[in-house]
Amino acid sequence: MQKKLLIAGIDPGATKAYALFTPEKELVACFSRKECSLAELIRETTQYGKILIAGTDKRKVPEFVEKFATKVGARVIAPRHDLELTEKLDLSREYDAQNAHEKDAIASALAAYKEIEGTIGKVARFAAAYKKEALQDAILELVLIHNVSIKLAADILERPEAEYSKETKKILEQPKLGKPDFVRLLQKLHEREREITLLRQQIMRLQDEIKLKQTPLAPLVPAQKTREPLLSRRVGMLYRSLDEKSRQVDAAKVKLAKLNALIGKLGTKYALVKKLDTLGQQEFSRRAALLGIQTGDILLVANPSVYSESTLEKLKDVIIIYRKKPAAVVAQQLICIPAESVELHEDLYFAAVHKEQLHTKIAAIERLQKVIEAYKDERNKLKA
């Protein structure tokens, strides 16, 4: 039996509070306690069901809320601005709360609910219209957590034998890394297969029409003869379009399999690498949001001899794996490792690097840096 889906509002701090709502906006539980650990909060909240959304009243998501969401596999929803006291009181007015912490938790949950209320309604209407009420919660989970379309979510659940359904089940339980690209590719594959089905149906209708026009009675109606070549040309055009769509589907399947294989490597043996063409400002701005580049990342840069000072300022504690030799200032500020010295498996935007080989190279560079620094210190002492 599938667990009940829940929207959680979390109020972190010395006294922690949580409020749990169903997608129908029913308050399931609300509680607060001092010195409540993350593990305790997870244990208490998950006994009521599966946490789908974790809400907060802060624009910048508190670390505790982020950790909670990661552990339970929920999506975090934060308001566009820190909720004012009046806003929180207005949101929590209809519900019983024992203290301000519980009111904040209720407000956090309901603020998050407002962001997804439209999607919840669309899924409910879709389920009612197509008699898929039994799948409604499962569809809602795929749509909200993994950002797939409602129709694709239903298809994945109803057609487990389809290739994109099998690949989805392998990926959706993986860490979030690479998922946006996977989901976009999956949706594209699904759309192409749907287009092919429609084209085949149209071809069959036209072929039936041609057969009808080619009956023995056809010569009695000369005007109809002129339609037969036209219909044949239309069928030919449709077949060519079908071939093109089939090629697109095949290409998408190859990309999907490659991305799936890459994500499957991540873990104890391989680490995720994000790819850039250069360290120029325009390239970095374009890719930073798409790839989620942050402190401590490993970047595979094709040509790090092209750089901007503003980009280098943002790349703190980043490791560069390079194709072309980096500029001197890049090599001075960041750890740089040649791509040919480590094992890499690449996709369009990501790669996986062998962790042990990478760590060995980093350790060698750090030892060399220490030797150089010790030498410089010794020279300075002699000069003094």
For residue 92, tell me if it sits in a domain.
yes
For residue 167, tell me if it sits in a domain.
no
Q: Are 246 and 281 in a shared domain?
A: no
Q: Are 243 and 199 in a shared domain?
A: yes
What CATH code is carried by the domain that includes residue 36? 3.30.420.40
Q: Are 261 and 274 in a shared domain?
A: no
Domain limit, last residue, from 265, 297, 315: 265
Q: Are 11 and 73 in a shared domain?
A: yes
For residue 48, tell me if it sits in a domain.
yes
Q: Are 250 and 279 in a shared domain?
A: no
**Predicted pLDDT of residue 207:** 56
State the total domains in the chain. 3
Q: Are 185 and 244 in a shared domain?
A: yes
Q: How far apart, in whole angstroms, are the C-alpha atoms of residue 190 and residue 140?
A: 18
For residue 230, tell me if it sits in a domain.
yes
**Predicted pLDDT of residue 294:** 78
Q: Are 14 and 57 in a shared domain?
A: yes
Domain limit, last residue, from 125, 146, 169: 125
For residue 169, tell me if it sits in a domain.
no
**290 vs 173, 181, 274, 276, 349, CA distance in Å?**
21, 9, 10, 11, 9
Q: Enumerate residue ranges in the chain where pLDDT < 50.
A: 162-165, 171, 175-179, 217-225
pLDDT in tens, 117-153: 999 999 999 999 999 999 999 899 988 987 778 887 8
For residue 205, tell me if it sits in a domain.
yes
Q: Are 228 and 297 in a shared domain?
A: no
For residue 146, tell me if it sits in a domain.
no
pTM of the model as a whole: 0.51
pLDDT in tens, 202-220: 556 655 655 555 555 444 4
For residue 22, tell me if it sits in a domain.
yes
Residue 9 domain boundaries: 5-125
**13 vs 16, 39, 104, 265, CA distance in Å?**
6, 15, 11, 38
Domain limit, last residue, from 125, 140, 156: 125
